[in-house]
């Protein structure tokens, strides 16, 4: 190591809900920011993925953002501001949290690769190298939009967009759009786009709508299912397939306008549209992939965490600990990929990680 390298006990990568929760508990355990632990985030500003949410996502239309430990959301963003953009409100909240607990997040610092791990991990960034005894990865999914492969996908002459690219419905105006995907984002965005252009909704399987208000028991079951998958080394999979799409006012309205009559997956993509197995063709100007995200974990590739099941086998109380490498925790991953899950995962990861690093636990 050269003199510019930093030695720390724990590196936290990412300062979204998950990374901030971990930072809080590291601080609470007696480690000093920028000495015992460091939080690195590649964004210019606080907010995690929330700073990129599209403008129509307001505090009213999001599922809900759980309070981080020690600071109420409503103390930073008054509840009467429910029409405020989530992309403003949540970053404001995270910023207040970082300040209140003096977490000193280092940004913008982008981690390119993590290797080693005998004694210490070598965490390479665009601002130098950190040597850490333990690693908490909290990099979310926003950097890794997922688009499924279809034959002919490269021949399409129109535009292809992903949820990540969405800003407002305006750029779809007058352009026939095929919306692919069966999740909440797909439904919310079809509602918006179908007001300015014609749309066709395509989903692989029949979407499941849930008429009743959110049932915590159903939520727990969904999380348990994902947890079971990652403990067996499988990729996490989707939670919505278990909980269903909540039938909101917006969904009712979209339904009554007929825009939620879905078609099954097409067989191939052609230069001017898509074709189903039975030969039916539909012209399209835009294919809009609302097909979700995968975990941003490419920088961890040298650690060889992936197993034969195609996923990473997880262990520990909340399945945040990598079974093959107990000094690596993944939070905001799999069962903890929600704001409430991220809170709990941060706490569990810190407790377990510090217990595995000799002489750190005060």
C-alpha closest to that of 12 among 161, 29, 4, 56 = 29
Contact call for residue 345 and ligand FAD (CB under 6 A): no
Q: Does 41 bind ligand FAD (CB under 6 A)?
A: yes
Minimal distance in Å, beta carbon 157 to ligand FAD? 28
Task: Rank residues 25 and 142 by Cβ distance to ligand FAD and give the closer one.
Answer: 142
Nearer to ligand FAD, 187 or 342 (CB): 342
Residue indicated by tokens 């070598």: 122
Nearest Cα to 269, choosing from 289, 254, 252? 289
Residue 103 sits in the site that holds ligand FAD (CB under 6 A): no
Site string for ligand FAD, 183-222 (x = CB under 6 A): --x-------------------------------------
Of 247, 242, 3, 10, residue with least CA distance to 123:
10
Distance of CA 129 to the CA centre of its chain: 26
Among 11, 15, 193, 259, binds ligand FAD (CB under 6 A): 15
Spatial neighbors of 269 by CB under 8 A, at least 6 apart, are 150, 151, 152, 153, 155, 156, 275, 287
Query: Contact letters (x/-) for ligand FAD, 142-181, by CB under 6 A?
Result: xx--------------------------------------
Q: Minimum distance between the CB of residue 153 and ligand FAD, rounded to whole angstroms?
A: 22
Decide if residue 105 touches ligand FAD (CB under 6 A). no
44-63 residues near ligand FAD, rule: CB under 6 A: 48-49, 53, 62-63
Tokens of 162: 């992903």
Residue 187: closest CA among 197, 174, 202: 202
Strand partners, 135: 11, 328
Distance (Å, whole) CA 92 – CA 169: 26
Does the footprint of ligand FAD cover residue 332 (CB under 6 A)?
A: yes
Closer CB to ligand FAD, 202 or 331, in the complex: 331
Question: Which pair of tokens denotes residue 159?
Answer: 């535009």
296 near ligand FAD, judged by CB under 6 A: yes
Taking CB under 6 A as the rule, does residue 346 contact ligand FAD? Answer: no
Angstrom distance (rounded) from CA 86 to CA 79: 12
Contact pick of 33, 117, 134, 140 for ligand FAD (by CB under 6 A)? 140
First to last CA, the chain: 27
- The footprint of ligand FAD on residues 234-273 (CB under 6 A) is none
Binding of ligand FAD by 13 (CB under 6 A): yes
| Alpha carbons 235 and 80: distance in angstroms, whole number | 40
297 lies in the binding site for ligand FAD (CB under 6 A):
no
Minimum distance from residue 308 beta carbon to ligand FAD (Å): 26
Residue count of the chain: 362
In angstroms, rounded to a whole number, what is the distance separating the alpha carbons of residues 236 and 293? 11
143, burial (CB in 10 Å: exposed 0-12, middle 13-18, buried 19+): middle
* CA–CA separation, 332 and 342 (whole Å): 5
Please count the residues of this chain forming the interface with ligand FAD, following the rule CB under 6 A. Answer: 33
Interface segment toward ligand FAD; rule CB under 6 A; list 8-16, 172-180, 245-253, 279-287: 8-16
Residues in touch with ligand FAD (CB under 6 A):
13-19, 40-43, 48-49, 53, 62-65, 110-111, 138-140, 142-143, 185, 296, 299, 332, 337-339, 342
């Amino acid at each position: 190591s050269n003199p510019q390298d930093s030695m720390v006990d724990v590196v936290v990568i990412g300062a979204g809900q998950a990374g901030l929760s971990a930072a809080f508990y590291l601080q609470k355990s007696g480690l000093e920011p920028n000495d015992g632990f460091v939080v690195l985030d590649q964004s210019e500003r606080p907010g995690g993925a929330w700073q990129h949410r599209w403008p129509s996502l307001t505090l009213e239309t999001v599922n809900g953002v759980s309070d981080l430990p020690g600071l109420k959301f409503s103390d930073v963003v008054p509840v009467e501001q429910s029409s405020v953009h989530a992309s403003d409100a949540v970053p404001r909240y995270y910023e207040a949290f970082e300040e209140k607990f003096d977490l000193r997040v280092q940004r913008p610092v982008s981690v390119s690769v993590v290797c080693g791990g005998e004694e210490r991990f070598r965490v390479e960034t665009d601002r130098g190298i950190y040597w850490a005894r333990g690693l908490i990865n909290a990099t979310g999914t926003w950097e890794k939009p997922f688009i499924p492969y279809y034959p002919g996908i490269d021949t399409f002459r129109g535009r292809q967009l992903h949820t990540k690219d969405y800003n407002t419905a305006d750029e779809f105006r007058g352009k026939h759009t095929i919306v692919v995907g069966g999740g909440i984002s797909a439904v919310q965005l079809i509602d918006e786009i179908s007001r300015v252009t014609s749309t066709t909704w395509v989903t692989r399987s029949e979407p499941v709508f849930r008429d009743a208000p959110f049932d915590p028991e159903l939520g727990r079951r969904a999380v348990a299912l994902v947890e079971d998958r990652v403990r067996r080394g499988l990729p996490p999979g989707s939670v919505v397939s278990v909980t269903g799409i909540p039938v909101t006012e917006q969904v009712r309205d979209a339904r009554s306008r007929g825009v939620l009559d879905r078609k099954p997956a097409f067989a191939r993509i052609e230069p001017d549209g898509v074709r189903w197995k039975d030969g039916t063709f539909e012209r399209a100007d835009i294919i809009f992939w609302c097909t979700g995200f995968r975990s941003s974990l490419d920088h961890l590739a040298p650690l060889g965490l992936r197993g034969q099941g195609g996923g990473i086998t997880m262990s520990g109380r909340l399945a945040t600990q990598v079974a093959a490498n107990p000094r690596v925790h993944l939070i905001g991953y799999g069962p903890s990929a929600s704001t409430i899950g991220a809170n709990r995962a941060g706490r569990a990861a810190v407790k377990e990680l510090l217990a595995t690093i000799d002489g750190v636990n005060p």
